[in-house]
Structure 1
Amino acid sequence: MTEPASRTDAMRTGDVKHMKWWGWGVEGVGFHHEDKPGFAPFVHRAVGLDLWAGERTGRPDFSQLKVPASRAPEEFLSVLIGIVGPGNAVVDDLSRVVHTYGKSLRDLVRLRAGEIARTPDVVVYPADEAQVQSVVDAAVEADAVIIPFGGGSNIAGSLEPHPDESRVVVALDLGRLSRVLEIDTDSGLARIQAGALGPDLEAQLNNRGWTMGHFPDSFTHSSLGGWVATRSSGMQSDKYGDIADIVKGLRVVRAGGVLVIRAVPSASTGPSVREMVVGSEGRLGVITEATVQVHRLPESRGIYAYFFKDFDHGLAAMQEIAASDVSPSVTRISDAHETGFSLATSKASKGIAKKAQAGLMAYLKRRGWNLDEICLSFIGFEGDTAHAKRQKSVVDRIVRKHHGIGVGKGPGALYDQKKFDTPYIRDFLLDHGAAGDVSETAGPWSKLRGIHAAVYDAADSAYEEIGRKGWTMCHMSHSYHSGACLYFTFAFVFGDDPLGEYDTVKRAIQQAFVDAGGTISHHHGVGLEHAPWLEEDISAQGVAVMSGLFEAADPGGNFNPRKIVV
């Protein structure tokens, strides 16, 4: 049976909402440390930054930016306006700056410094797939560049025009394509337009009793099309799968027609074109629609917190859970450095909660645990009540076997509430002249400890090279039978050359991934940021095959050129 879209899901019209041009999220929302007494002392110990003594940078002044003028000819603009209507093809400076970069630290440093070498020349907001097709055909005929744009949350350099691009650049914003079109209730398949942002998408599904179960860190401000284009992973991918597992069908607008991948459970039809599109970052066309696997809203859902004596014990427990017959929605463990950070970002406990926390730490100390080495873990369970209870009992036994202890749902509930807020901390540190950024990898269980150690060593050497006091921390997430994702955060106070210093640290970490047996990116994509290591990851022949695909599928180089491979 198929459920069509309801009247309340009608296409959103008017202005498409975007994040603020100079940082993450919306105006008026940000991170504050005054109610977190452990945060300022922690930051001072970690990177030497005194949050009480230094001044916080205010909002940058947009009027001071030198924005390159649009190069779009009037004749071409008239064609685009004729397709999408007045007001939906714009060339104002703010719109073009918003669509110039993603939200990586490199992007924000350049924006705040006024470094804008090249912007899109026009931003287009099509209302439906037919308009996308007309825009694409017009752009290809004019030999223009087309860069698809969803929520703008990318941190791998997948959105920016190349500074040397001489052709007209069109930012094709999918924000008006935001509907859940229909749900096949027999199959658990939903057709959804690619511009739907995470909260809008889930709200429409939840209203009908369904969920997609895909919750990346960027969920609040990222789109379905962006998830597909970058091979996204979500916080509950252990249960629901990565986006490559979730997406079953696709519609991709290319010059002269639409590439259609039908939603079937499996197929033996040669090399998977679906897999070619997933992770292609706009180089094969504009994703306008995806058919995704959806699930009924679970009867029971809970995220529980556990402590382990150290990271080795925690990793061993996560590996055994992954090999067991249970399927938690979340299996995550922070190393000692990240655990310390998490505790430092907590609000001050009062009354009974304060006594309970003090009692827990005293208990762990009596057990002989070094409190500087303890690791905090979150494990989630979903499904009918009996199923979730059974899964938790199995996990509890595994945790005890590896000398871990459970501390209930309280910390897990807090994690659940704050899980999308981390980018605001990055912006807060940037306001104080400090870098705070992330790099993630994946590797087999047998190599994870080696990768973890190698990254710490590489980062420490890089901090020494740039002469800055640095901090590195990590958590394991996204478990698979054969391995898991390690997600690293690194921080330091900028010196005289912010991007040069950042490059030194970032390069060291990325190289450590490859050298220790990990991949260059687990779910952030390649873009420009990770492209230098692609050949080391997939081999020279792998790059040759990928280059051949892009050249054959887009001989004119009109679709987001020079991303992934140059």
Structure 2
Amino acid sequence: MTDLVTPTVADREDAAAVRENPVAHMKWWGWGVPGVAFHHEDKPNFAPFVLKAVGLDLHAASPLEQPDFGALDVPASIADGALRAAMAAAAGAERVADDDLDRVVHTYGKSIRDLIKVRAGRLPRVPDLVVYPADEAAVQAVVDAVVQHDAVLIPFGGGSNIAGSLEPIPGETRPVVSVDLGLLDRVLEIDELSGLARVQAGVLGPSLEAQLNARGWTIGHFPDSFTHSSLGGWIATRSSGMQSDKYGDIADITRGMRVARPGGLLDLRPTPSASTGPSVREMILGSEGRLGVITEATVQVHRVPAKRVIHAYFFPNWRAGSKAMREIAESDVHPAITRVSDGRETGFSLSTSKESKGFGAFAQKALFAFLERRGWDLDEMCLSFIGYEGEPGHVARQRKAVEKIVKRNRGISVGTGPGVLYDQKKFDTPYLRDFLLDRGTAGDVSETSVPWAGLDRMHDGVIAAAEAAYESLGRTGWIMSHLSHSYHSGACLYFTFAFVMGDDPEAEYDVVKQAIQQAFIDLGGVPSHHHGIGVEHAAWLPDVLSEQGIGVLEGLFTATDPGRNLNPAKITAN
């Protein structure tokens, strides 16, 4: 839970002046919009925590100045006149851009590796043109023109990807066209009897939810990147959200799709279920642009709940908290959120809180003293958030049933106050990552899923693997985790890691990232639960799909895109 400095009016005007195109983008060098940043001066426990965790003295560390875009050496566009004319004919001349800022913004996503490279001016290959189609017909025309001219097309939503799904292949000799879907941002219609909404794929999370809320509906999908990610991007990477326990992952939410493919539009009707051979819908989900450009989706929506409340709980240790989450998943209750942080992440969360004063400070000290008298080790204590939605009576029944499970596992309720703060700050963490990067510290995330039987072993094994990697580098590093999504058979574990970088930041990052990813595989998990594969996680895909599975994927991509024009070398190298 973080706290941000918000932009002034001048900041917003400066940001708007950077570009004339009506599609707003994040900073080219970091997360979010200019003028918004994490600060720690009102959080007295944060600097001591960071010093202990990674050895960084925030009082002595001078932040880097904002990177200078003018210092970048941006390779010239290689798009010829014929391709430019074709893009203008397809989308309109005013919708085709080749200025350096547009092209750099569309080169990378927002992983720590992406930010290290772009801040260092490492731009081996940038898109040659950025096209902003205004409707589905224009998207289809762009796709057809790209194939006709043997160029490469990379779809672009909000730019929040952290798996390398957006970057062009460094050695690509053909022109690269980034197709930005930002103008396709409307909810087209809502079938109120069926709870289905037709939505254009370029809409960002806040706009989608606002349009639905105005009619009394919600999609219920809230990934960490919600503020700056698109519906099409969620589908293309098989996204999960903070309330997937109730609403499902995007794979559950997405019922129908329209996809612009070479030669025509793929149109999947939104039926509740079907026995129609291998699922083409499932093929598009997670395809990261390799099967076409998603232009529209029909998604399940739900009435805005009459009541929504998030309660916070403490558990004495990780084992007690994870066991409680498993028992909740096995039970007949279905909360919207079941999340528990390990002791390390709980300590981090408490360090980002503002200083309590008066009765609040007294109550917190009294609570912690009480827990210590009960034999709790406060360094092992785990903070949990459980969210309830629905009619007031339903919420009360759900909470009563859950709190029996919490109590059975020695947990205690600490009310709704922390839950309110969590709800307010849930999308702010990436700003903290940028704050650390400005001070020479890498901070990133990796996530996996695993059956319940192996969950605690996964938790402990990944932490041990990361700590061994830090030791091999001679670095003081930090890793923490939370259980973020529960299923009947298992759960997602979400890890955050950080360390102060040396002279070769990307190589050092690789050592830690690869150790974590390999531990996922060795301990029975998957390389990614909801961030996609891209190029970042592709090396581990054969371990979970088998060589035959990789062959099936490569056969699919080759058959449907023989010219390798659609975002090649993502998911698989071929």
Pick one of 325, 348, 355 that aligns with 1:348: 355
CA deviation vs aligned residue, 1:197-235 (integer Å, no higher than 9, x gap)? 000000000000000000000000000000000000000
Contact conserved, 2:55 with 2:476, CA < 8 A, in 1?
Answer: yes
- What TM-score, normalized to structure 1? 0.97
After TM superposition, list the pairs within 5 Å mapping 1:54-453 onto structure 2.
54-453=61-460
**Corresponding residue of 2:8:** none
Amino acid at match of 1:399: V
Pick one of 531, 535, 547 that aligns with 2:554: 547
Contact conserved, 2:106 with 2:156, CA < 8 A, in 1?
Answer: yes
- Shift of residue 75 of structure 1? 2.1
Contact conserved, 2:87 with 2:93, CA < 8 A, in 1?
Answer: no
- What TM-score, normalized to structure 2? 0.96
**Corresponding residue of 1:474:** 481
CA distance in 2: counterparts of 1:338 and 1:62, whole angstroms: 35
- Shift of residue 14 of structure 1? 5.4
Amino acid at match of 1:34: E
**Corresponding residue of 2:55:** 48
CA deviation vs aligned residue, 1:314-360 (integer Å, no higher than 9, x gap)? 00000000000111000000000000000001111111111111111
- Shift of residue 86 of structure 1? 2.8
- Shift of residue 447 of structure 1? 0.4
Q: Secondary structure at the match of 1:60?
A: coil
- Shift of residue 303 of structure 1? 0.5
- Shift of residue 461 of structure 1? 0.8
Amino acid at match of 2:312: A
- Shift of residue 453 of structure 1? 1.2
- Shift of residue 79 of structure 1? 1.9
CA distance in 1: counterparts of 2:369 and 2:470, whole angstroms: 35
CA deviation vs aligned residue, 1:56-107 (integer Å, no higher than 9, x gap)? 0111000000001001002211221122223210000000000000000000
CA distance in 1: counterparts of 2:372 and 2:473, whole angstroms: 37
Q: Secondary structure at the match of 1:87?
A: helix
Q: Which runs of 4+ in 1 moved over 3 A?
A: none
CA distance in 1: counterparts of 2:420 and 2:522, whole angstroms: 37
Q: Secondary structure at the match of 1:539?
A: helix
Give the superposed CA RMSD.
Answer: 0.8
Q: Secondary structure at the match of 2:37?
A: coil
CA distance in 1: counterparts of 2:416 and 2:94, whole angstroms: 49
CA distance in 2: counterparts of 1:48 and 1:385, whole angstroms: 47
CA distance in 2: counterparts of 1:227 and 1:353, whole angstroms: 40
CA distance in 1: counterparts of 2:144 and 2:61, whole angstroms: 53
- Shift of residue 15 of structure 1? 1.2
CA distance in 1: counterparts of 2:89 and 2:570, whole angstroms: 30
Q: State how many pairs are aligned.
A: 554
CA distance in 1: counterparts of 2:488 and 2:85, whole angstroms: 54
CA distance in 1: counterparts of 2:37 and 2:163, whole angstroms: 23
Pick one of 446, 451, 468 that aligns with 1:461: 468
What residue ranges of structure 2 are gaps of 5+ in the alignment? 1-19
CA distance in 1: counterparts of 2:89 and 2:521, whole angstroms: 49
**Corresponding residue of 1:6:** none
CA distance in 2: counterparts of 1:456 and 1:137, whole angstroms: 48
**Corresponding residue of 2:38:** 31
Amino acid at match of 1:203: A
Larger mean Cα displacement after TM superposition, 120-129 or 83-92: 83-92
